[in-house]
Amino acid sequence: GRRGQDVARLFRAAFEASGLSRNAIRSIINNWHGSWRRHACALSAFWEYMRRKGISVEQLARIDKPYIIIADYITDIIKYQSDAFVIQAMTSVSTMFELIAREEKDIRNKVIEQLMLKPVANTRKVIREVTIWKMEQLLDYIVKLNVERDKGSLTVNELRRVVITIFMEYSVLRLSELQRAMLNVTQIEQGIIIICSNLLKGKRGRVEVTFKVVKNRAVCSITRFQAWNEKRKTKTTDKDLLLSNREKQKIINTGRMQQRSIHSYEQCRH
């Protein structure tokens, strides 16, 4: 439309004034594909702002400190535009200055960062609470295994499944994240163990989960871990992997045995 044509002219004129060839300019616009529409919409408002302020394209191309005009522009539109539009406008104008060979420090700096704090915070997604289905049934089943555990009749594999299931339920970590986890048991005498892992989905990154001893030993993660660790061939000491390489390989070789066993716990009603 008309706005898109105006923005295209603005782009071409700014790029030509900065010394780029017409072929290079055409390639830049063509390579944007679907992004061009978003940039065109945001830059059309910038075009109107320039006209109101009496800023010519030639002046725009000669600006040494783009963050000054970007800051003024954001301050102007933040009063009446949505937070999402302000973010897109800042991105589009910054991209334009980057393409006409302005340095990053002269485009995005602490001034722009401070101006964008509120719009960015307002558009940040809320981390939703994770629903744990059938947790009551699962814990009831684990409680019933308590007698067998005290008798010492549970196998190493059965104890491992219970431990990992409790860790998954209490921490909401996935099985794949627990398989890669490091376990810190340096404070186990004080009733504390720490799991260190990487979140693989959603909000990714390093995570530490602290487990503490609870009065109900039947569902106490530390009590369950100690019972399992005593029967293992490879004991966990200080900081070590939650699962040894041999235990991981056993899970893989048995065709996702761990997933099936945990799934069967969740389906169990007796």
**Full pLDDT tens readout for the chain, 270 residues:** 555 566 666 667 767 766 777 787 777 767 665 566 666 677 778 888 888 888 877 787 778 888 888 899 999 888 888 888 888 888 888 877 877 767 778 888 888 888 888 888 887 765 555 555 566 677 777 777 777 776 777 788 888 888 887 887 777 777 777 777 788 888 888 888 888 888 777 667 788 888 888 888 777 888 888 888 887 765 555 555 566 555 554 543 433 444 444 455 445 444
The C-alpha atoms of residue 34 and residue 19 are separated, in whole angstroms, by: 26
End-to-end alpha-carbon separation of the chain, Å? Answer: 67
- Residue 126 tokens read as 């809320």
Reference 47, options 114, 87, 2; nearest CA is 2
Place of tokens 């981390």: 127
Residue 266's pLDDT is what? 47
Q: How far, in Å, CA of 256 to CA of 40, rounded?
A: 50
pLDDT of residue 8: 65
Rounded to whole angstroms, the Cα distance separating 19 from 30 reads: 19
Residue 47 pLDDT: 82
> 231: how many CB neighbours lie within 10 A of its CB?
15
Per-residue confidence (pLDDT) for residue 131, from 0 to 100: 57
pTM, to two decimals: 0.43
- Looking at residue 100, its pLDDT comes to 72
Sheet of strand 239-241, all strands in order from the earlier edge strand to the far edge: 205-212, 192-199, 182-184, 239-241
Handedness of CA 236, 242, 246, 251 (dihedral sign): positive
- Answer for the pair 32, 73: CB distance below 8 angstroms, yes or no: no
Q: Which residue is it, tokens 């539009």?
A: 85
Question: Which of 136-146 are b and which e, b meaning 16 or more Cβ less than 10 Å from the residue's Cβ?
Answer: eebbebbeebb
Q: What is the pLDDT of residue 253?
A: 41
What CA–CA distance (Å, rounded) separates 242 from 217? Answer: 21
Distance from C-alpha of 225 to C-alpha of 159, rounded to nearest angstrom = 8
What pLDDT, on a 0 to 100 scale, did the predictor assign at position 7?
64
Alpha helices in the chain (DSSP H): 2-18, 22-31, 35-53, 57-62, 66-77, 83-99, 110-123, 135-144, 146-151, 156-171, 175-179, 221-231, 245-253, 257-267
Longest dimension (CA), the chain: 86
Look-up of token digits 């017409």:
22
pLDDT at res. 173: 78
